[in-house]
A and B are shown apart, each in its own frame.
Chain A
Amino acid sequence: MTDSTAPTAALRRADLSEERLGRRYAAEKRFRAYGLMAIFAALAILGLLIGTIVLNGYTAFVQTHIAVPVYLDPQVIDPQDTNDPQIMGRADYQGLLRTSLRDRFPDVSGRRDRLKLYGILSNGAGLDVRDAVLSDPSIIGTTQTLWVKSSDDIDSLVKGYIDRTLPESDRRVKDNEIVWIEALEADGAIETQFNTTFFTAGDSREPEQAGIWGAVVGSFYTLLITLVLTFPIGVLSAVYLEEFAPKNKWTDLIEVNINNLAAVPSIIFGLLGLAVFLSIFGLPRSAPLVGGMVLALMTLPTIIIAARAALKAVPPSIREAALGVGASRLQVVTHHVLPLALPGIMTGTIIGMAQALGETAPLLMIGMVAFIVDIPGGVTDPATVLPVQIFLWADAPERAFVEKTNGAIMVLLGFLILMNALAVLLRKRFERQW
């Protein structure tokens, strides 16, 4: 290792001593461990998130029902014997239920205790009875054992969300109520059944009568508007920018603008909707029409970017081949490029729609946050959407709304997973290697 040109120090060989290498490898191991820890942390958080939601939410899909033997008194239901469903529909079924509860627990006396006793049933329990009567009027005059909804507190108690061992003053459900419930449980008169209301009803102040259907329909109308607006506009502008636009300052500006728009906070789009669609155009507040328009502006950049990527992936040789046989540029695009790029565009659109489905903030700005009981019948009816419904329920004080919120989240996540799975499937199915 001698070299005449060496300045001073002779070159030493690398220090490959055990000690030094050991230190380096320890550092390597540590570094690797940090990486693993980070991934596990992220996955653990995901697990925790999904876990708490599912654990707290799956009970929203069932509802406690109480079997009540109820005498369907013709005097109450249809005193004039008209057989008119209108009249039968207006009868005091809740009162019938109360009577039979009183009969079941004869030793309950005093106004307050009686009210408490009646309170184990839902305010909407009478509707269950009414539905039974209307579907089969011949049962009037008989005594039927009907399963009716319990109140939300009793529902929570039966599902085990209320700790029966706590001192009475710390619970929402009092001792005497527990005694009644336990008596009913001993009779086999309490059961949790599939909660149809949750999937078919609109919002309600009473947790046991609240459902997500109104919000699902609202989301549907909103997304319909979004899709109808963004898909054609997005595809047209992507085709223009990718296939036709000259490269100049103006198209550069559009391009930069689209990229920046994709990163603008969603709430800003809500402000735009409020200032332009509501104030200037005077469109109705709380309507899916406006919500869909706002979300369309928000998702447009996503769809344009995805569509451009899909168009770019079609090799130029195909365009040249079509131009070579005398097709016009538009024909090249509509006959060859677009069909080949369509799966990619669809994938991008679905992902954009999924994004729009989960969006909340801009819709708050345009008033889609109202308490709406009715199922919306069109795009101009006041409506709310699933994420906003979650937001509203998350704020509600009743314990029972916690499980409803979690349940609604599960439904929302279900839709999102479905959409994303569809997008992945599309990509896999039509993926093409050029």
Chain B
Amino acid sequence: MNSFLLIAILLVLASVGYQFGQRRARSVSGGHPSTLHSRPQYYGFYVALWCGIPSVLLMALWLILEPHVAEWMLISNLPEDIQSLPEDRLSLLLNDVKNLASGNIVSREVDASLQAAADGYASVRQIGNAAMTVVAIAIAVLGLAFARKRISPELRARNLVERTVSVLMIIASTIAILTTIGIVMSLLFEAMRFFARVPWYEFLFGLEWSPQTALRADQVGASGAFGAIPLFAGTLLITFIAMCVAVPIGLFSAIYMSEYAPQRMRAIVKPMLEILAGVPTVVYGFFAALTVAPFIRRTGESLGMTVSSESALAAGVVMGIMIIPFVSSLSDDVMNAVPRALRDGAFALGATKSETIKQVIFPAALPGIVGSLLLAMSRAIGETMIVVMAAGLAANLTADPLEAVTTVTVQIVTLLVGDQEFDSAKTLAAFALGLVLFAVTLTLNVIALNVVRRYREKYD
């Protein structure tokens, strides 16, 4: 709440600055605002920016640096023998100190030195926070005063404000790039650390996946098997089942909606299909686990087959349902982009509607449809909650849809949810899986977006 309060104070200061600036500008103009370079509001904004930006920058910097500084101070205050502990033991200890300081449960006996360290840590953070608040407010006030003093009729306030805004805009537009860089760097960096422990070929081509490593590094037989092929196979199996459900239903409903359905039906059915697209994936996961999976199991058993309770089929079918609206709305768009002249040409030759669709519109739209199917596929590959809730954890290498399989996303979640050491091979493996997932979906997207774009250009 502290930071909320601080932000509120800064906002108030900035708006006070705006008023000051405006008034000051009016007074330096001697009651003739037209003698000013810019309109008085711009002087107001000028002061407000000087008041707000430096202190916000300071806050951001603080937010990033503070934990590290505090930790560094904590370590340097600890007794020598603890400081010289190996890194992983030290980080466990530090974790306990931090937990103790914030009043959480700790994993070991609390002795006096630990308590002292925790108290010290808590007070450092408290003092630091207070200092930061004071400094931020002081900077804001200083900025206000400085800017207010600089106001004169010659000050090109509008140009300065506009330049600042355009710098802000450029920064904002690079955030998207920074996000991508952040994703690539963090995945690559952690994956490299993983490949330092498990060779990449073992990961990419290994047939066995059992990431259960021992809890402590000094235990014997600590390393599990990290062969990701069963995961890739499971992902592909479920994606395949999903496409088998989504492609016919999605395509045919798109065709019916765009070519046959009367206006009124379209007005009702389209929003309903959009509901299907808006349902959160966790709801689909719940539906898969509680409704579809038991249904498939009962049906299978009544036919004398053994169906595992978490079958690939259940997860795949429900994932297919999830991507129906993607397939249908994307291919609807694509087919609508086929020029009317082609339809007219076929109709004028005496083709029926279905002949026109099958022989003229569909072939013409095919590249676009392929593109949208690729997009839908990448969606299915990256989908997490449905498979987490319905596909299970067993890394079976099988093509039988009635067995349980696991997927890349399921494993990422299981490896990273719950308590973990950040550096274990198990945790790092999740990033390696994430890297593969990112690379595959990115490739699919790039291809699909290109195909669709080229298709659109053809008919524009």
- Give bound CA distance, A28 to B375, whole Å: 30
Confirm or deny: A377 has a beta carbon within 8 angstroms of a beta carbon on chain B. Answer: yes
A275 in contact with B186 (CB, 8 Å): yes
A261 in contact with B176 (CB, 8 Å): yes
Residues of A within 8 A of B186 (CB): 271-272, 275-276
Q: Which residue of A lies closest to B352 (CB)?
A: A28
Q: Which residue of B lies closest to A232 (CB)?
A: B172
Among B64, B251, B275, B417, the one with the most A-chain Cβ atoms within 10 Å of its Cβ is B275
Confirm or deny: A245 has a beta carbon within 8 angstroms of a beta carbon on chain B. Answer: yes
Confirm or deny: A24 has a beta carbon within 8 angstroms of a beta carbon on chain B. Answer: yes
- Contacting residue for A263 out of B4, B182, B378, CB 8 A: B378
B179 in contact with A272 (CB, 8 Å): yes
Confirm or deny: B197 has a beta carbon within 8 angstroms of a beta carbon on chain A. Answer: no
A282 in contact with B286 (CB, 8 Å): no
B168 in contact with A41 (CB, 8 Å): no
> How close is B166's CB to chain A, nearest CB, in angstroms?
6
Name which of B19-27, B111-119, B206-214, B434-442 contacts chain A: B434-442
- Contacting residue for A264 out of B358, B409, B441, CB 8 A: B441
Confirm or deny: B239 has a beta carbon within 8 angstroms of a beta carbon on chain A. Answer: no
- Give bound CA distance, A405 to B283, whole Å: 9
Residues of B within 8 A of A330 (CB): 162, 165-166
B438 in contact with A264 (CB, 8 Å): yes
Confirm or deny: B139 has a beta carbon within 8 angstroms of a beta carbon on chain A. Answer: no
User: In the complex where A35-B256, A300-B176, A304-B176 touch, is A265 in contact with B354 (Cβ < 8 A)?
Assistant: no
> How close is A336's CB to chain B, nearest CB, in angstroms?
16
Residue interface mask A373-401, B partner, CB < 8 A = 1 = 00001111000000110110011000000
Residues of B within 8 A of A301 (CB): 176
Confirm or deny: A328 has a beta carbon within 8 angstroms of a beta carbon on chain B. Answer: yes
- Give bound CA distance, A358 to B252, whole Å: 28
B179 in contact with A53 (CB, 8 Å): no
Confirm or deny: B431 has a beta carbon within 8 angstroms of a beta carbon on chain A. Answer: yes
Q: Which residue of A lies closest to B453 (CB)?
A: A259
B180 in contact with A257 (CB, 8 Å): yes
User: In the complex where A39-B257, A237-B175, A257-B177 touch, is A49 in contact with B279 (Cβ < 8 A)?
Assistant: yes
- Give bound CA distance, A267 to B381, whole Å: 11
A271 in contact with B182 (CB, 8 Å): no
Confirm or deny: A425 has a beta carbon within 8 angstroms of a beta carbon on chain B. Answer: no
Confirm or deny: B169 has a beta carbon within 8 angstroms of a beta carbon on chain A. Answer: yes
Residues of B within 8 A of A377 (CB): 1
Task: Report how many residues on chain B are interfacial, defined by Cβ distance under 8 Å.
Answer: 95
- Contacting residue for B442 out of A48, A260, A269, CB 8 A: A260
B382 in contact with A266 (CB, 8 Å): yes
Confirm or deny: B173 has a beta carbon within 8 angstroms of a beta carbon on chain A. Answer: yes
A391 in contact with B282 (CB, 8 Å): yes
- Give bound CA distance, A330 to B248, whole Å: 49
- Give bound CA distance, A52 to B293, whole Å: 14
Confirm or deny: A434 has a beta carbon within 8 angstroms of a beta carbon on chain B. Answer: no
B417 in contact with A38 (CB, 8 Å): no
Residue interface mask B438-453, A partner, CB < 8 A = 1 = 1001100110010000
Confirm or deny: B158 has a beta carbon within 8 angstroms of a beta carbon on chain A. Answer: yes
- Contacting residue for A53 out of B1, B175, B283, B416, CB 8 A: B283
> How close is A49's CB to chain B, nearest CB, in angstroms?
6
Residue interface mask B266-288, A partner, CB < 8 A = 1 = 00010011011011111111110
User: In the complex where A240-B170, A266-B384 touch, is A42 in contact with B355 (Cβ < 8 A)?
Assistant: no
- Give bound CA distance, A239 to B168, whole Å: 11
- Give bound CA distance, A358 to B278, whole Å: 8
- Give bound CA distance, A38 to B258, whole Å: 13
Confirm or deny: A171 has a beta carbon within 8 angstroms of a beta carbon on chain B. Answer: no
A413 in contact with B384 (CB, 8 Å): no
A394 in contact with B289 (CB, 8 Å): yes
- Give bound CA distance, A209 to B1, whole Å: 28
> How close is B335's CB to chain A, nearest CB, in angstroms?
12
Confirm or deny: A127 has a beta carbon within 8 angstroms of a beta carbon on chain B. Answer: no
Confirm or deny: B136 has a beta carbon within 8 angstroms of a beta carbon on chain A. Answer: no
> How close is A87's CB to chain B, nearest CB, in angstroms?
26
- Give bound CA distance, A275 to B174, whole Å: 20
Confirm or deny: B53 has a beta carbon within 8 angstroms of a beta carbon on chain A. Answer: no
B355 in contact with A35 (CB, 8 Å): no
- Contacting residue for B431 out of A275, A358, A388, A390, CB 8 A: A275
Q: List 16 A-B contacts (CB under 8 A).
A: A24-B355, A32-B353, A35-B252, A38-B250, A38-B252, A253-B177, A254-B173, A254-B177, A263-B379, A263-B449, A265-B437, A266-B382, A282-B67, A330-B166, A361-B409, A387-B282
* B positions within 8 Å CB-CB of A: 1, 3-4, 63-64, 67-68, 71, 158, 162, 165-166, 168-170, 172-177, 179-180, 182-183, 186-187, 189-190, 248-253, 255-257, 259-261, 269, 272-273, 275-276, 278-287, 289-291, 321, 324, 328, 350, 352-355, 357-358, 375, 378-379, 381-385, 388-389, 409, 412-413, 416-417, 422, 430-431, 434, 437-438, 441-442, 445-446, 449
Q: A232-B172, A240-B172, A359-B280 are in contact. List 12 more A-B contacts (CB 8 A).
A: A38-B256, A39-B257, A42-B328, A46-B273, A265-B384, A268-B437, A268-B438, A300-B179, A369-B417, A394-B289, A416-B278, A420-B278
Please name the 3 residue pairs, one residue from A and one from B, whose CB atoms are nearest each other, closest first.
A265-B382, A35-B256, A358-B280
